[in-house]
Amino acid sequence: MDAMQQTRADLAAALRLAERFGFHEGICNHFSAMVPGFNGGFLVNPQGLHWGEITASSLVLVDFEGKVLEGEHAVEATAFYIHGALHRRLPGARVVLHTHMPHATALTTLEDPTLEPISQTALGFHGRIAYDHDYNGLALDSAEGERIAAAMGDKPLAFLANHGVVVSGPDMATAFNDLYYLERACELQIKALSTGRPLRRVSGQVAERTARQFVEPDNAGQVAAHFTALKRLLDRETPDYVH
């Protein structure tokens, strides 16, 4: 499988898996990926298709001006304005996943949306999340994506106030692993807050040490294995995603 087809298959798999885990919202939100060896644009899910019906061939290749290079479908304007800016401005954002997944988005609606260091899962995100506190409506102009990119800086994740989250990464396995565990960490925090009892925060020193452990070489193998295992589920149950 060449780089283009592999990227298409992985992006389609990520969308199918996100739908399976309830990270989707109708036919809204977008995942995108740049193809290794090609820097003239990116692949993104098309307008009007449900994530549960996405296939590798239904994805659209667009350039940074919004022109469709390959594909039979249109691309929603908000997808281009957000994803185009992030791919163009952030060198590490080869993959960009934007969702309104419920627990993470619930935190973005709070006056203080901080993901607290209260669980081992949350510690994997210590120091890696940017918080964009400005909400200006639908992302229907380039300024929105530029502002989000500026807010993210060198951080791969962003909480968008009153909106949702962005997860970026150098490859699909890394980005999807973060997306999955981010929602789990946010779910734990929402449930802890629902008790009305004080949160038990881990100290800064322990949080920093644990965060470093999450990015050690041994864990990189675990990240890749996670996405590979999830794709095996699709291969058995809904193998049409690769077509």
- On the question of pLDDT at 137 being above 80, the answer is no
Per DSSP, 169 falls in state E
Q: Measured between alpha carbons, how far is 94 from 91 in angstroms, rounded to an integer?
A: 7
- Cα Rg for the chain, rounded, in angstroms? 17
Give the per-residue pLDDT at 54.
98
Give the per-residue pLDDT at 198.
97
Question: Distance of CA 24 to CAs 1, 50, 57, Å?
Answer: 28, 9, 20
pLDDT digits (tens, 9 = 90+) for 146-189: 999 999 999 999 999 999 999 999 999 999 999 999 999 999 99
3-state secondary structure of 21: coil
- On the question of pLDDT at 139 being above 70, the answer is no
Per DSSP, 166 falls in state E
pLDDT digits (tens, 9 = 90+) for 5-25: 999 999 999 999 999 999 999
